[in-house]
Amino acid sequence: MINLELPKKLRFSANQAHQVAAEIFRPISRKYDLAEHEYPVELDTMAAMIDGLADSGEQDVSGATSGRKSDGDSDRPDTDITGNKNGGNMSALLNSLETSWGDVGLMLCIPYQGLGNAAIAAVATDEQLERFGKVWAAMAITEPSFGSDSAAVTTTAVLDGDEWVLNGEKIFVTAGDRCTHIVVWASVDKSKGRAAIKSFVVPRDAPGLSVPRLEHKLGIKASDTAVVVLQDCRIPQENILGSPEVNVEKGFAGVMQTFDNTRPMVAAMAVGVARAALEELRGILTDAGVTISYDIPPNNQHAAAAEFLRMEADWEAAYLLALRAAWMADNKQPNSLQASMSKAKAGRTGTDVTLKAVELAGSIGYSQHSLLEKWARDSKILDIFEGTQQIQQLIVARRVLDKSSAELK
């Protein structure tokens, strides 16, 4: 049974993340929204703080070691008397939520907390985790020829002696210019289909890797979104994540494990942005004389108050779904269905809440006097990357109906 009361240890770290969001992110949020692609230098100090917390064992911000400790750690502080664990995934989810409440674009700029780090945590061996546990890793999947169909990877990796040679082009790589490493998805044998798709850790300064362009975007402008070109890019043989063996029966389940970790994190980002919008909207409605009551049926209240209550209920559902997916990951329960459910619900709720908040706030919401319009722009990407709304619904349908990807497209 899931206990929905957060443990004291996680409440403490979430409060720290909230303070960062309030004291560091919010004051510079508009500045870096207007100065697209300018690196937020204020985050360097924060990166040092996060690194210190991780080294001391006080806080596992990225969730990079979740689920990797020995099974004999039942007496750890994050394990309760029932054996339930609240580890790196839950900690990372709450920190993502709180920092996204401050600014989701800046949250994506935090050094050493890239989406590639979650990929490393999901697939890497213990030895690889030791080598790559403290790098800033972006994740490169999407190519010009495909978006949501991850099995359509055309980038190739060929073993030449003791090195892999990578060739291909990746687009929409979050933190692709600022990171220190990039987790690249590539095929080691195109004749074997999706089973041959592996992930590789490529140093940002590797020979043959270049970043020819940064994208101009609707939102999350503080975050750099890059095009990455790999032209005879050579990396050490041991930089392939996990096993180099091609298992046709297993398919590419190994690399897909990444999404079971990252989708609840993206859900948490959407939940954080939506909460910020709801809090701002409540203040605006209160100042306008609109009373929001939890004792009176919504249909007997002001129309704006009724709409607020509807959005708040949707927000609560998205929050609980995200918590469930992260809890299952920490407790080593298969969570592919719940990860997609949480991402689909939170992504839709985030865009609904932020856009409706702009609408109900009127001219104030549409202007730059408030951050509401920025949050509306930022939230849209959270319903797109890491798998679009439509893809999440397709995955949920396959899991519920017990259909394969070939049976249900």
- From 81-95, 106-120, 379-393, the region with the lowest mean pLDDT: 81-95
User: Residue 114: its pLDDT value, please?
Assistant: 79
Residue with tokens 């997916």, as numbered in its chain: 325
For residue 75, pLDDT over 50 is answered with no
SS3 content of the chain, % helix, strand, coil (to 5): 50, 15, 35
Q: 111 φ, ψ to 5°?
A: -60, 140
Alpha-carbon distance of 78 to 298, in angstroms, equals 40
**Smallest Cα–Cα separation from 341: which of 322, 357, 366, 360?**
322
Which residue among the candidates 143, 373, 386, 407 is catalytic per the annotation? Answer: 386
Higher-scoring residue by pLDDT: 62, 107:
107
Decide: residue 147, CB within 10 A, 0-12 exposed, 13-18 middle, 19+ buried: middle
Q: Are 326 and 85 in contact (CB under 8 A)?
A: no
H helix runs in 83-178, sequence order: 88-107, 115-123, 126-132
H helix runs in 113-252, sequence order: 115-123, 126-132
Look up 143 and say whether it is catalytic: no
Q: Are 211 and 177 in contact (CB under 8 A)?
A: yes
For residue 355, pLDDT over 80 is answered with yes
Q: What is the pLDDT of residues 361-389, one digit of tens each?
A: 999 999 999 999 999 999 999 999 988 99
Q: What is the pLDDT of residues 45-54, one digit of tens each?
A: 776 666 655 5
What are the chain's domains?
Answer: 8-132 (1.10.540.10), 137-239 (2.40.110.10), 253-401 (1.20.140.10)
User: Residue 364: its pLDDT value, please?
Assistant: 96
User: Residue 2: its pLDDT value, please?
Assistant: 58
User: Residue 67: its pLDDT value, please?
Assistant: 42
Q: 200 φ, ψ to 5°?
A: -125, 140
pTM attached to this predicted model: 0.91
Provide the 10 A C-beta neighbour count for residue 217. Answer: 18
Q: Are 121 and 57 in contact (CB under 8 A)?
A: no
Higher-scoring residue by pLDDT: 288, 1:
288
CA triplet 347, 286, 378: central angle to 5 degrees? 25
228-239 mean pLDDT: 97
For residue 322, pLDDT over 90 is answered with yes
Over its C-alpha atoms, the chain yields an Rg (Å, rounded) of: 21
